[in-house]
Amino acid sequence: MKIYRTLILTALLLPAIAYAVLSQPVDVSNEVLRYRHNPQANAIFGRALSDNPELTSRIRSRLYFVMGETAFYGKQYLASIHAYSRAISLNPTAAAFNNRGMAFLNIGELDAARGDYAAAVQLNAWDVHAWVNLGNLYIKLKQYDLAIDCLNHAISVGDQRATTYVSRGNAYQWKDDSQAALKDYNTAIGLAPSAIAAHIDKAQILLVSGQLDDAQAELNRAFKLDPGNTDIKIASALLLKKKHKFVEAIDIYTSILKVTPTNVRVLEGRGQALEATGNWSSAIADYSSAIKLDPTNDLLLRLRGLAYEARHDNAAAIADFTEATRVAPTTARSYLLLSRALVSTGQSQQSLDMLASAIKLIPNSVSLRQERAFTFEGRGDYASAIDEYQSILRAKSDDETTRRYLADDETELGRYADAAREYEFVSRANPDDGELLFGRAKLNVYTGNLQQADADLSDWQRLYREKKLDSSDQRRYYVAIWRHIIALKLGTDDQRALSAQANRLDADLWPYPILALYMGNSTIAKVMSVVEQSGNDRNERLCEANAYLGEWLLARGSISDAHYDFTQANASCPAAFIEKELATWELQRNRMGEPSGGTHYSTSIERN
């Protein structure tokens, strides 16, 4: 009773009351119903939790607010939500909405939290805490543009905390705007040099961009601030993976797991490092442990699915990719991996049906429509693939990649004028696109513009020498082959140039044996012997060998033998192989008759 009268007598001293209640918090440790049976609660609110008419609604709201804080700090989030709700019903304030939103967030009620944060900033546009909380929630929801807008508001109304800049940097980083992210991390470090998160996140940006030494320096700064920080260790392990020091990375992850065996990020990181060493079983075990801890993490499901694929367990891979689409139905990546897994197991129609359903869920996804087009191409249905590409272009006419894919398929169907227009569009925007140059070179071969075709392929090789193309691009072998085919059709001697090109290539890799034949350093029998010893790659290499041997024989006047090779390539090459396209074009162009048989090399041993 004494407490109750004191509150009435000091009704105008709200800060003092608040501190007094916080210093002696009301015990609401379990259920809301316990309020009725708690002496302190009864003293403040009455035995039936009714509002005492002797207190104003503003005071009663403040008292409930204090109880909400006390419950929140005691991690009694349901009790906290109840108290803040009573406070809001009596006197809605931005602070009460913001704090209740934090309690909702802690029990996983994200929509309710978002609604409360939004209500807070509606009541008080200067509430930087609500703006930041709303921004961080949008990051969690992967709505990065909205997150950036909220954090911009917080900064514009005076929030100059380093943590706010780190949050906005994270949103930019997830949005793939590394420059903006780096700028925010640097600002955060300028405001608070001891902001460890800013140093670590900056190091992550530097890692992704390949600036490994700078990333190491940033991690060293963070380490001096907090040598035992787990996030620093995780980032250091990531740096080691980038340097291909996978065993050392695994050691760091393992040391962390000895202390915190349920750290999902560490299990994920060690799984990836184990994959890199070829230890698929252990990688799968780590992913499985992480998935048990975080079963709705679609990234973990995809990673385990890819590991299963590498171990040729396609059924398990498909199951994981399918589950990933269930837990994150608006994430396109899971559908793409599922599609490819289905296609690889001969279920292309199921892939097409699944992608059609996915497009309904994510109608603006370019990647899903492109994947559907790829699946049509794999079935040899270029007309349907073209329809998909045209659907993309109706919504996004400046998509250069899609236009190039469209041109490639129009070339496949002999729609050369249409293809030329699409290639021209791409060329104006990006004349040094290696894929463009190779595709347009094929088109120019088929339309008789051989000098222009050779010029395009020469430009491709220049870009490769200048390291403007992927150094591992196997197309460099095929560019050399196609340049020789063009020389054969022009009747020019390119042996010196061909030898110079071949000298830059690895003679132990396919399709170098074709180049060796073209240079006069091998025989058809040797080429076919390499093909026969190719294991799982035999059929694809046989396809290529048939097409390119056909060109070699055609140039030498061996029409019958050339027809045999082109016919074999046309019949057996996968639909998406350029060699099938080449063989089909040669058969149509030359209107070759049936082979007469009895050629000088067409033995069953060589052909097999």
Q: What is the pLDDT of residues 404-444, one digit of tens each?
A: 999 999 999 999 999 999 999 999 999 999 999 999 999 99
- C-alpha 253/C-alpha 272 separation (Å) is 11
Place of tokens 């800060």: 15
Calpha distance 598→546 (Å, rounded): 17
Share of the chain above pLDDT 90, in %: 81
Picking from 351, 443, 378, the residue whose alpha carbon sits closest to that of residue 573 is 378
The pLDDT assigned to 45 comes to: 52
* Under-50 pLDDT residues of the chain: 1-40, 43, 46-50, 593-608
Distance CA(104)–CA(279), nearest Å, equals 41
DSSP readout, 61-75? HHHHHHHHHHHHHTT
**CA gap 204, 181 in Å, rounded:** 10
CA 102 – CA 80 distance, rounded (Å): 10
Looking at residue 10, what is its pLDDT? 27
Which ranges constitute the DSSP H helices of 519-602?
524-532, 538-555, 559-572, 578-590
Q: Report the pLDDT value the prediction gives residue 22, as an integer from 0 to 100.
A: 25
C-alpha of 541 from chain center: 31
DSSP state of 37: G
Q: What is each CA distance from 517 to 103, 526, 533, 599, in whole angstroms?
A: 73, 9, 17, 18
Which residues lie closer than 8 Å to 148 by C-beta, 6 or more apart? 135, 168, 171, 172, 175
Sign of the C-alpha dihedral, residues 507, 513, 515, 517? positive
| Cα–Cα distance for residue pair 23/28, rounded to 1 Å | 14
| pLDDT value of position 57 | 81
Burial class (CB in 10 A: 0-12, 13-18, 19+), 506: exposed
DSSP symbols for 177-234 = -HHHHHHHHHHHHHH-TT-HHHHHHHHHHHHHTT-HHHHHHHHHHHHHH-TT-HHHHH
**Following DSSP, what letter does each residue of 120-158 receive, concatenated?**
HHHH-TT-HHHHHHHHHHHHHTT-HHHHHHHHHHHHHTT
From CA 493, how far away is CA 499, in angstroms rounded?
A: 12
CA–CA distances in Å: residue 283 to residues 267, 289, 312: 9, 10, 14
Residues in the chain: 608
What is the predicted pLDDT for the residue at 243?
92
In the prediction, which pLDDT does 58 show? 84
Q: Is the dihedral of CA 132, 138, 144, 149 positive or negative?
A: negative
| Burial 338-355, CB ≥16 within 10 A → b, else e | bbbbbbeeebbeebbebb
